[in-house]
Amino acid sequence: MSRSFDPVQLGSIELFCKAAELGGFTAAAEALGVTPAAVSRAIGRIEERLGVRLFVRSTRRMRLTDDGQLYHEQCRQALAQIEEAERAITGHQAVPAGVLRISVPTTYGHSRVMPMLPAFRARYPAVSVEVEVSNRNIDFVEQGFDLAIRLGAPPDSRLVARKLEDASMGVFASPDYLSRHGEPRTLDELQQHVSAQFVRPSTGRVMPWVFRRDGADIELQLDSPVRVLEDVLGCVSFARAGGGLVQIYHFVVAEQLARGELVEVLQPYAGRSRPFSILYPHNRHLSARVRAFVDFMLQAVAG
C-alpha cells in the first residue's frame, strides 16, 4: 500500500536537506530561522515515517547514512523541480517582485551596476536587490544567485550569456607622474616606467596589457615591482597617487579623466576592448525580476 503525502512533510524535507547540506541541525536552523529542536523534530518525523535512520549522530560530528544519502539526493531533485515550477509561474508575473541576487566583479560593480541601481529600483520598487561585489567564482545553484556579470565568455555551457558591451581600454597616469618621469610615446618605452599589474584571481597570473599597432592586436607582459591582487581598482588608486601607469577600462576612470586626476597616454595604440556579459542559468522560464534586470542593463549600457 502506498503512503499518502502530507503537505506538511514538504517543510520537514526542506529542513532535512538543509541539515544534510550544512552538516548539522544547528547550522540548518540558523540558515532557515528556526530552532535546532524544530529541525531535530522534523527529521525525527521523517525517520519514523520511513522506518530508517537518516543521520548517524555523535558528540563531535554528524553524517548521512546510506539511506540518508539516497533520500537526500531524491529530495534535492524534487525540491529543484518545485523551484523550477515556481520560476515558471513567476516568469509570467506582470510586475517584477521579490529578491534579486547578483554577483558582479569589482570594476563593473563600482563603475556600472551600483550607479545604475537607483534607476532600476525606481522603475521596479517591488524588487529587492542583493549585490555581491567580488571577483570570486560562484556556483549559481549552491549560492542562490540569479545573475552574474563577468568578463569574457562563460566556460560553463549550462549558463546563458548576454553580451552587455565591449569595454574599451586605455593606459592612464597622473599628471604628477608624467611630469616627473615623462610620457611614454611607444610601446617599447613602457618597460622604462612603473606600472600597476593586476593578478587575475581565476588564474593567478598577471593580466597582459593589450594594444593595437599597425592593425594587429598585441599583448604585452610587463615586469613591474607593483602587483595588485583581488581588486583591480587598487591599480587605479596607485596611478591616481602618482605611482605609475595603469591599463583599465575607460568607463572606470571617466570621472578621474574629467577632473584631470588622470591623463590617457599611448592613444595611437588604443582600440582594444574586452567583453562583459550578463550570465544566468540555462532556463526557459526566467522570473519577471530577472528578465527586468537583464533588459534594464542591456538598455542602460547601450544608451
pLDDT of 2: 47
Kind and range of the H or E run holding 70: helix 66-90
| Residue 168 neighbours by CB under 8 Å, 6+ apart | 249, 250, 270, 271, 272, 273
pLDDT under 70: residue ranges of the chain: 1-8, 58-60, 86-94, 141-142, 154-157, 283-285
Tell how strand 159-173 and strand 62-64 pair up. Answer: unpaired
Grid cell in block for residue 263: 591623463
Nearest to 156 by CA among 139, 179, 170: 139
- Please, what sign has the CA dihedral across residues 172, 273, 137, 225? negative
Helix (H, G, I), strand (E, B) or coil at 286: coil
In the chain, the domains with their CATH numbers are: 9-90 (1.10.10.10), 95-303 (3.40.190.290)
Q: How far apart, in whole angstroms, are the C-alpha atoms of residue 195 and residue 132? A: 29
Number of separate helices (H) and strands (E) present in the chain: 11, 13
Residue identified by cell 502530507 is 6
How far are the Cα atoms of 193, 239, 246 from residue 261, in angstroms, in the given order?
Answer: 19, 9, 13
Instruction: Give CA torsion, residues 5, 6, 10, 15, to 10 deg.
Output: -110
Residue environment code for 91-106, b if the CB has 16+ CB neighbours within 10 A, otherwise e: beeeebbeebbbbbbb
Cell numbers representing residue 100 in the block = 534579486
- Chain position carrying cell 550570465: 279
Q: pLDDT at position 1, please?
A: 43
Task: Give the angle 286-290-291 at the CA atoms, nearest 5°.
Answer: 70
Residue 155 is predicted with a pLDDT of 66
Please give the grid coordinates belonging to residue 171: 593606459
- What length is written for the chain? 303
**Nearest Cα to 239, choosing from 261, 212, 210, 213?**
261
Nearest alpha carbon to residue 246 among 259, 272, 265 = 265
DSSP state of 150: E
Cell 534535492 belongs to residue = 76
Grid coordinates 599589474 are at which residue?
Answer: 197
Q: Is-contact 131 297, C-beta < 8 A?
A: no
Query: How far is residue 90's CA from residue 228's CA, in Å, rounded to a whole number?
Result: 42
From first CA to last CA, the distance across the chain in angstroms is 63
Amino acid at 75: C
